[in-house]
Amino acid sequence: MTTSVPDAATLRALPKVELHCHLEGSVRPATIIDLARKNGVELAVDDPTELYEFENLTQFLDVYSVICASLRTADDFRRITYESLQDGVAAGVRYREMFFSPGFIVGADVRLTDMWAGIRAGLVDAHADLDIRCRMILDVDKGAPPASAVELVEFAAEQDRDELIGIGGDNSEHGIDHGVRLVEDPDLLRRVAEARIPLTVCPISNLLIARMVSSVSEHPFEQLRDAGVLVTINSDDPGMTGTTIVDDFVQLAEAFDYDFVTVAGIALDAIDASWAPADERRTLTERFQREIAAIATTGATP
């Protein structure tokens, strides 16, 4: 393996942990077309390639709402969970912590218990069939009434902590999402670096959805690394952006001239940033080190 920027095939083979990916935002366009028809939801387009078109965060959330409206049954959620993890495996993801957003979905047509039952079934099937482990994070809509948030948190507290490991908060994060503005506050930047508080950075999402940068080369990812912050690479909403985490690795490597050793180190850091149990993190680290060594030696997929 040379010291040049690794190619896309090498970065696809690189084992990865993904810590910021939204279930609903990872749904394949063709699947939403299919489920919308099944559930009697009228869409403005018939061509899956036209479904996920947006120019700003507001339009993105409008499309996100269409996706959520098309999901009605437990089996719908089982399907999208399984397919999302299939796509993750194809991108080299071995472990994922994935958000789901009941606040955007649960209502007259969908019960929270059905949504969660479907997601759990998708996890069970994926863990049996695929080379990946996934745990879920329940996202609370920040714009919802406090009582709704309390209801979701109470529901989360009743679930198996090995399946549902955290609570997140989400809504229109104009200009601040994924910690990118941390570089503007030197004192806070230093505190975050010293405490090894992880940032789940989503460069292509910041470019295509939030429009915070005009190119990945303008993203503060490298500034954060230089400051010693534990930064990880993530896809955020890969179905909606038509990308995978591989594209984030490729564009960052090209933008900042990262060699294979550098990107492998970033991939290993994400293990430490995860909420996986300590013994599982050790097992993942050992596996990643073996696979990384094989890629470095032969360039072949492990």
Q: How far apart are CA 16 and CA 97, in angstroms?
A: 12
Residue 5 is given by DSSP the state P
Q: How far apart are CA 175 and CA 288, in angstroms?
A: 34
Q: Does residue 130 come out as left (phi exceeding 0), alpha (psi in the -120 to 50 range) or beta?
A: beta
Catalytic sites, residue numbers: 158
List % helix, strand, coil for the chain (3-state, nearest 5). 55, 15, 30
Rg, C-alpha atoms of the chain: 19
Which residues make beta-bridge pairs with 99? 22, 137
Instruction: Give the tokens for residue 57.
Output: 């965060």
Q: How far is CA 187 from CA 60, 85, 180, 182, 228, in A?
A: 33, 38, 15, 9, 13
In 3-state terms, what secondary structure has residue 99? strand
Q: Which residue, 115, 235, 123, 102, is CA-closest to 169? A: 102
Q: Which residue, 27, 206, 200, 28, is CA-closest to 97? A: 200
Paired sense of beta strands 16-22 and 93-100, if any? parallel
How far does Cα 284 stand from its chain's mean position?
A: 18
Phi, psi of 106 (to 5 degrees): -65, 135
Instruction: Give the tokens for residue 162.
Output: 């090995």
